[in-house]
């Protein structure tokens, strides 16, 4: 008697929805139920995208996993669990998520942002960059008197870095001699940024700078005009960002047109 081959229970919903699998040799036949090669190919593709390399060992593991899932799925069907309301709800939601993912992938593939639009956005963002950035050090103390004492010590030849390590109340920079690295004035509170940007290279503030954190003595190491990344360096990220914005707008438009009761 010839054994009748049936489709895996896990695939019935997809088949009813119109999915078609390749009519090639199945990966395995479990109790007369065929597990299509397309399932193996799909999993291999996903793993390859994550850096996995195809190998006989990997295929053996995938086959074993598919067989295990099929065996359990068959038992679930025997118990009538496919008729359970929660299972049906979860199946419907899973289908919805797959369709959503497919829609987004298709949108990204068929709606690339034109080169001239990307370049225009790049120039716009470039224009928003600060005209200058500064490399500064600071010593933060609690009182104005302490700050004036620091300034007096500097005038007597004490090294800024040594005083910062000894006197500063800023735990993030005191270990590095008060070094704050390169930053735009807007990265700091206004009083600090304004005072820093007025200094010449190598100059120290002549008077303490008061902020909400205490009193600062600031030294400007250097300043420069920021270059920023090139268009080619950010092109890929811009493409993703602008596609995402366009997709969000399109989905918002779809929701606005939908009849929701």
Domain boundaries, the chain: 6-78, 127-224
pLDDT value at position 4?
42
Residue that has been written with the tokens 């807007």 in this structure: 186
Measured between alpha carbons, how far is 76 from 81 in angstroms, rounded to an integer? 5
pLDDT value at position 129?
84
pLDDT at 224 over 70: yes
How crowded is residue 202: how many other Cβ atoms within 10 Å of its Cβ? 9
pLDDT at 117 over 60: yes
- Name the average pLDDT for the chain: 90
Measured between alpha carbons, how far is 150 from 211 in angstroms, rounded to an integer? 17
Model confidence, pTM: 0.56
Averaged over 231-237, what is the pLDDT?
94
pLDDT at 26 over 60: yes
pLDDT at 144 over 90: yes
Coil/strand/helix, residue 68: helix
pLDDT value at position 183?
94
User: Which fold is adopted by the domain 127-224?
Assistant: Chitinase A; domain 3 (3.10.50)
Coil/strand/helix, residue 146: helix
Q: What percent of the chain has pLDDT over 90?
A: 85
């Amino acid at each position: 008697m010839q054994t009748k081959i049936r489709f895996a229970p896990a695939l019935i919903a997809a088949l009813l929805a119109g999915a078609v699998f390749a009519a090639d040799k199945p990966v395995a036949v479990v109790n007369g139920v065929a597990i299509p090669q397309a399932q193996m190919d799909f999993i291999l593709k996903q793993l390859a995208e994550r850096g996995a390399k195809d190998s006989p060992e990997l295929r053996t593991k995938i086959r074993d996993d598919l067989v295990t899932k099929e065996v359990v799925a068959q038992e679930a069907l025997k118990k009538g669990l496919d008729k359970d309301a929660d299972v049906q709800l979860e199946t419907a939601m899973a289908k919805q998520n797959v369709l959503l993912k497919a829609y987004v992938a298709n949108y990204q593939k068929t709606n690339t942002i034109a080169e001239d639009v990307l370049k225009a956005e790049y120039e716009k963002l470039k224009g928003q960059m600060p005209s200058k950035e500064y490399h500064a050090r600071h010593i933060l103390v609690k009182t104005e008197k302490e700050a004036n004492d620091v300034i007096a010590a500097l005038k007597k030849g004490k090294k800024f870095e040594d005083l910062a390590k000894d006197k500063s109340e800023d735990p993030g920079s005191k270990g590095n001699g008060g070094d704050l690295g390169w930053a735009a004035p807007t990265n700091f509170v206004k009083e600090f940024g304004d005072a820093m940007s007025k200094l010449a290279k190598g100059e120290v503030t002549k008077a303490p700078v008061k902020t909400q954190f205490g009193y600062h003595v600031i030294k400007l190491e250097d300043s420069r005009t920021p270059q920023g990344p090139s268009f080619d360096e950010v092109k890929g990220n811009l493409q993703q960002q602008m596609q995402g914005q366009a997709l969000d707008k399109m989905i918002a438009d779809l929701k606005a047109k939908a009849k929701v009761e």
